[in-house]
Amino acid sequence: MEKKSLDDIFELMGTENPVEVIPNSRNTSIDWRSTKQIAEILGISRYKVLEWVRSGVFQANVHYRNISFDKNRPTYRFDLEKINQLFEG
């Protein structure tokens, strides 16, 4: 993934091009996955993943983060290690 400066990101935000911002963490080894990827890993549908987000099975800022600026259309990234821990324990 190509890294961009803040100036580049702000410039892109003014266009119709999508901008994906992945939260920076002190633990840079976090394996962030998309909703589709988590669904495939767990062998469930994307809709089931989203249902688990809404129902609280996956907890915000523990199992996933919303990286979207549009609150009406969230874009989630899931911490694969935390998801695995949830189902192992």
* Tens digits of residue pLDDT in 28-64: 689 999 999 999 999 999 999 999 999 999 999 999 9
Of residues 60 and 7, which shows the higher confidence score? Answer: 60
pTM for the model: 0.67
Q: Tell me which residue of 13, 7, 58 sits closest to 33, measured CA to CA.
A: 58
Q: Does a structural domain hold residue 11?
A: no
Q: Does a structural domain hold residue 18?
A: no
Among 5-14, 18-27, 78-87, name the one with the lowest average pLDDT: 18-27
Q: What percent of the chain has pLDDT over 70?
A: 78
Q: Does a structural domain hold residue 20?
A: no
Residues, the chain: 89
Q: Does a structural domain hold residue 66?
A: yes
- pLDDT value at residue 25: 54
Q: Does a structural domain hold residue 4?
A: no
